[in-house]
């Protein structure tokens, strides 16, 4: 295992993700989208949302999407386009590999502020780690879904999938 890999603790990868994750070397290069869509449903806006043509669905619309991690730039444009809120973008800081980021879709009206300290939650809604809001994107392109990027310890980039504001009960 390389030194870089040692710096990125993957002890928190859920088992169901292990087959779809990009190689660790790829994650360390630049942010990358992770598509957590495992149900074969008639849906494909993710495919059209990607300017790099990195997302594809083989053999009919009912198949689950695939992503070409080499083509993905981590731009986050696909994140708000998924009606299932199943697309996330994860990244690791090149200068300090203990620092990571997770970009998530957010459909609530109470948008957090950049720099706000929040609590990163896992897929079950349980608190995992403190996090800081790094970026908030709301635009015509994102419709009613905002795109929020959190800064957090890199060991949690595959675990945190939502957040709780400190002010919320």
Q: Judged by CB under 6 A, which of 44, 56, 129, 142 binds ligand SF4?
A: 44
- Distance, CA of 116 to CA of 97 (rounded, Å): 22
Check residue 55 for interaction with ligand SF4 (CB under 6 A).
yes
| Rounded to 5°, angle at Cα 18 from 46 and 165 | 65
Does residue number 49 form part of the binding site for ligand SF4 (CB under 6 A)? yes
Pick the binder of ligand SF4 from 22, 27, 34, 65 (CB under 6 A).
Answer: 65
Tell me whether residue 26 or residue 126 sits nearer to ligand SF4 (CB atom).
26
Strand order in the sheet with 87-92: 32-35, 87-92, 99-106, 146-153, 127-137, 117-121, 162-165
CA distance between the termini of the chain: 42
Counting contacts by CB under 6 A, is residue 56 touching ligand SF4?
A: no
When asked if residue 147 is in the footprint of ligand SF4 (CB under 6 A), the reply is: no
Question: Does 149 help bind ligand SF4 (rule: CB under 6 A)?
Answer: no
């Amino acid at each position: 295992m390389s030194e870089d890999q040692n710096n990125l603790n993957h002890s928190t990868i859920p088992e169901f993700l292990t087959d779809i994750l990009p190689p660790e070397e790829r994650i360390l290069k630049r942010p990358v989208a992770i598509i957590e869509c495992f149900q074969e449903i008639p849906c494909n806006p993710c495919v059209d949302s990607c300017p790099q043509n990195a997302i594809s669905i083989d053999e009919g619309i009912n198949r689950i999407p695939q992503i070409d991690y080499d083509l993905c730039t981590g731009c986050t444009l696909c994140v708000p386009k998924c009606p299932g809120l199943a697309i996330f973008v994860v990244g690791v800081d090149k200068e300090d590999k203990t620092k990571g980021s997770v970009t998530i879709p957010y459909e609530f009206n109470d948008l957090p502020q950049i720099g706000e300290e929040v609590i990163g939650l896992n897929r079950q809604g349980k608190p995992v780690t403190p996090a800081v809001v790094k970026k908030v994107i709301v635009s015509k392109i994102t419709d009613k879904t905002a795109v929020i990027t959190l800064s957090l310890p890199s060991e949690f980039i595959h675990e945190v999938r939502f957040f709780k504001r400190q002010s919320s009960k």
